[in-house]
Amino acid sequence: MFSLSGWEVAGLISKLGIYPGIAAALGGPLVLLFYHDGSRRLTRDVLVYIALAGLLAFHSALAYFLIQVGTISGSGVAGMFDWTMINLLLDTPLGDSSLLRLTSFVAMFLLALFYLYRIRELQSPPEQLFYSRLFALLFLCALIAAGSFRSTGHLAVFGNTAQLAIALHLLAFGTWVGALLPLAWLCNSPDIAQLKTNMQRFGAHARFILIVLLAAGIYMLTELLTTPSDLIATPYGFALSIKLALVGLLLLLAARHRWFLVPALGTQEAGLKLQRSIYVELVVALVLLCVTAYFSTMLAPPAGSAMMAL
């Protein structure tokens, strides 16, 4: 039977807090750049969202590192601040990935604050260049944070292709999930025609995001599992199956939006219906992130997988 120690639970929770940072840095600016409804309120709300997600992710990354220090020190909470152990761990891949994450999330938070200040100073709505720059800078932050997953995790011991796959997978998923909350806010817009156009545009872009997400994910599956039967025959594979089922559910929800709810947009009520469905999609995505954090931390790929052959 499975049991989790306090340290393991703390580690899982802190790891979970890292993902929203990457997602918000990708999805938020994407919505502002391509699907903006012209309101200053949306820009402000998305920038606050990015700032808060960056702040959460920064503290989560720091907590995750200190929790590993505490786990190894074995001296309770005080052991988390064992300077000798901190120095030792900074010299490991965990230290490398933690420093990358902390740097990217601080940058993300400061950028969001800076752009919030700028939007307050502007007398008229910002031009497209404003959003392009924001997108480029935050994408860089997210890229650095995603790159940190190369140093740790099951695929860290693989070659460059697998590490590239995980970075792409993370970036694609982060972009999709990170855009959901701003898209839900867009549904409050009184201009339904513009809302419909923006949602259709997102649907078209989302196809490309999905291709990258699924291609990278399938490649990672082939590296982590030895045979398809591992999906039901091993604990890691079983947890992966749960993740795949949730991905399937997300795809169904996305398809429902694309083929039914968005074409039916014509009234405020239809907009609110779409908004509720996007919130459901967000909850499923959060559950999926919990599952991912769990099996990537607590379980190991099956013996005999490409990883174990190294």
Partner 1 sequence: MKGLNSLRVAVLLLSALLFQISAQAHTGLQKTTPEADSTIATPPQTIQLVFSGPVRLLKFELLGVGHTMPTEFKANPEPATEFNITTPGMHPGAFTVNWAAMGADGHTLTDTFAFTVAAPTASDAE
Which of 14, 43, 60, 68: binder of partner 1 (CB under 8 A)?
Answer: 68
- Residue 153 interacts with partner 1 (CB under 8 A)? yes
To the nearest whole angstrom, how small is the minimum distance from the Cβ of residue 32 to partner 1?
A: 29
Which of 48, 119, 156, 164: binder of partner 1 (CB under 8 A)?
Answer: 156
- Residue 60 interacts with partner 1 (CB under 8 A)? no
- Residue 39 interacts with partner 1 (CB under 8 A)? no
**DSSP structure string for the chain:** -----HHHHHHHHHHHHHHHHHHHHHHHHHHHHHS--S-HHHHHHHHHHHHHHHHHHHHHHHHHHHHHHHHHH-STGGGGG-HHHHHHHHTSHHHHHHHHHHHHHHHHHHHHHHHHHHHHH-SSPPPHHHHHHHHHHHHHHHHHHHHGGGTSSGGGGS-HHHHHHHHHHHHHHHHHHHHHHHHHHHTT-S-HHHHHHHHHHHHHHHHHHHHHHHHHHHHHHHHH-SSTTHHHHSHHHHHHHHHHHHHHHHHHHHHHIIIIITTT--SHHHHHHHHHHHHHHHHHHHHHHHHHHHHHHH--PPTTSHHHH-
Q: Which is nearer to partner 1, 11 or 174 (CB)?
A: 11
Which of 14, 43, 60, 97: binder of partner 1 (CB under 8 A)?
Answer: 97
Which of these ranges, 112-120, 135-143, 202-210, 278-286, lies near partner 1 under the rule CB under 8 A? Answer: 278-286
Q: Which of residues 206-235 bind partner 1 (CB under 8 A)?
A: 234-235
Q: Total binding residues for partner 1 by CB under 8 A?
A: 37
- Residue 291 interacts with partner 1 (CB under 8 A)? yes
- Residue 252 interacts with partner 1 (CB under 8 A)? no
List residues near partner 1 by CB under 8 A. 1-2, 68, 71-74, 85, 88-89, 91-94, 97, 151-154, 156-157, 234-236, 238-239, 242, 280, 283-284, 287, 291, 294, 297-300
